[in-house]
C-alpha cells in the first residue's frame, strides 16, 4: 500500500507538470510529508529534489527535439544557479523542519499568485546571447538557484520569468530552456542532501516512476485541452492555495508546541 501511495503521489505531480507545464513540483514536498509519510522534512526535500531533477531531464529531451531550448542562455543561467542552489541547500539543511515547512507554505502561496497572474507570450524567439545578457542571466540564475536549493523545489515558476527577464527570449523558449536549470538545480540540491544521508532512495525511485507515468498522461490531456489551459492553471492555483493553508496550519502548530 505504501508503494502505491508513493507511486500515486508521484503521478499526481507528474500529471500536473505535463498538463500545465510548471508549478506541479511545488506539491512534491507536502505529498511526501503528509501523504507518503516521510517523517523528516529534510529527507522529504532531498528526495523531492532528486525526483524533480530526473523528471525535468526527461521532459528536456522532448523540448530539445522540438528545438525550443536556447542552449547558450540555458547553460549560463544554470551554471550560475549551481552555486546558489548549493548554498541554499546547505542553509536549508540547518533550518528547523517545522520552520522550513512554514516558509515553504508561504512560497506555495506566492507560486499560486503567480499562476493566477499568468505569463505573457511576448519575447524574441531569435535572441542570441551577448555580454549584457550573460551578466543578467548570471545574476538572476544565482538568486533563483538559491531559492530552489533552499526549498528543494524545481523552481520552474521562478526560472521561466527570470530567464525571460535576463535574455528577453519568448515564453516557449524560456519554458524549454528552464528545464536545464530545473534539472541541474534539483541534482545539486539532491547531491547536497544525499551527502548528509537525507535522501530516501526507495521512495525517490517509486516517486520518479509515478511522475513519468503521470507526465505522459498530463501531456496527452494538455494537447486536447490546449484552449482551456488558462482555466486549468487557475484551478490548479486554487488547489495549491488550499494545500498551502494546510501546510501553514500544520507547521505553525508544530512550531508552537
The pLDDT value given to residue 204: 96
pTM of the shown model: 0.81
Task: Label each residue of the chain as H, E or C.
Answer: CHHHHHHHHHHHHHHHHHHHCCCHHHHHHHHHHHHHCCCCHHHHHHHHHHHHHHHHHHHHHHHHHHCCCCHHHHHHHHHHHHHHHHHHHHHHHCCCHHHHHHHHHHHHHHHHHHHHHCCCCCCECCCCCCHHHHHHHHHHHHHHHHHHHHHCCCCHHHHHHHHHHHHCECHHHHHHHHHHHHHHHHHHHHHHHHHCCCCCHHHHHHHHHHHHHHHHHHHHHHHHCHHHHHHHHHHHHHHHHHHHHHHHHHHHHHHHC
Q: Which residue has the cell 526560472?
A: 159
The pLDDT value given to residue 227: 63
pLDDT band at 236 (very low <50, low <70, confident <90, very high): low
Copy the grid coordinates of residue 14. 507528474
Could you tell me which of 8, 21, 2, 73 has the C-alpha nearest to residue 218?
21
Domains of the chain: total: 1
Note whether 76 and 137 are within 8 A (CB). yes
Copy the grid coordinates of residue 100. 522550513
Ranges 50-59, 99-108, 151-160, 200-209, most confident: 200-209
Gap between the Cα atoms of 162 and 3, Å rounded: 37
Domain limits at 129?
2-256
Note whether 72 and 129 are within 8 A (CB). yes
162-210: per-residue pLDDT in tens?
A: 898 899 888 778 878 888 998 899 899 999 999 999 999 999 999 999 9
Q: Count how many Cα atoms sit within 13 Å of the Cα of residue 204 in the half-sphere of its side chain.
A: 22
6-32: per-residue pLDDT in tens?
A: 999 999 988 877 776 666 678 899 999
Gap between the Cα atoms of 107 and 114, Å rounded: 11
Residues in contact with 42: Cβ distance below 8 Å, sequence separation at least 6, in sequence order: 92, 93, 97, 100, 193, 196, 198
Note whether 138 and 80 are within 8 A (CB). yes
Give the residue-averaged pLDDT of 105-116.
78
Gap between the Cα atoms of 18 and 141, Å rounded: 24
Residues in contact with 34: Cβ distance below 8 Å, sequence separation at least 6, in sequence order: 246, 247, 250
Amino acid at each position: 500500500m505504501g508503494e502505491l501511495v508513493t507511486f500515486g503521489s508521484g503521478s499526481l505531480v507528474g500529471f500536473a507538470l505535463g498538463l500545465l507545464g510548471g508549478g506541479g513540483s511545488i506539491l512534491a514536498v507536502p505529498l511526501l510529508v503528509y501523504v507518503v509519510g516521510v517523517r523528516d522534512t529534510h529527507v522529504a526535500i532531498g528526495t523531492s529534489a532528486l525526483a524533480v531533477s530526473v523528471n525535468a531531464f526527461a521532459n528536456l529531451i522532448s523540448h530539445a527535439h522540438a528545438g525550443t531550448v536556447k542552449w547558450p542562455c540555458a547553460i549560463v543561467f544554470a551554471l550560475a544557479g549551481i552555486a546558489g542552489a548549493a548554498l541554499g541547500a546547505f542553509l536549508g539543511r540547518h533550518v528547523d523542519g517545522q520552520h522550513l515547512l512554514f516558509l515553504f507554505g508561504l512560497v506555495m502561496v506566492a507560486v499560486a499568485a503567480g499562476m493566477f497572474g499568468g505569463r505573457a507570450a511576448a519575447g524574441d524567439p531569435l535572441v542570441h546571447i551577448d555580454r549584457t545578457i550573460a551578466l543578467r542571466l548570471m545574476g538572476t540564475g544565482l538568486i533563483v538557484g538559491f531559492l530552489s536549493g533552499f526549498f528543494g523545489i524545481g523552481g520552474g515558476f521562478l526560472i521561466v520569468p527570470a530567464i525571460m527577464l535576463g535574455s528577453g527570449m519568448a515564453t516557449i523558449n524560456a519554458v524549454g530552456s528552464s528545464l536545464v536549470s530545473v534539472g541541474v538545480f534539483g541534482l545539486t540540491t539532491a547531491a547536497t542532501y544525499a551527502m548528509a544521508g537525507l535522501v530516501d532512495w526507495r521512495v525517490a525511485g517509486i516517486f520518479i516512476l509515478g511522475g513519468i507515468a503521470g507526465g505522459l498522461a498530463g501531456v496527452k490531456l494538455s494537447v486536447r485541452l490546449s484552449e482551456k489551459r488558462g482555466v486549468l492553471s487557475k484551478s490548479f492555483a486554487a488547489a495549491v492555495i488550499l494545500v498551502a493553508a494546510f501546510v501553514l496550519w500544520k507547521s505553525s502548530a508544530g512550531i508552537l508546541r
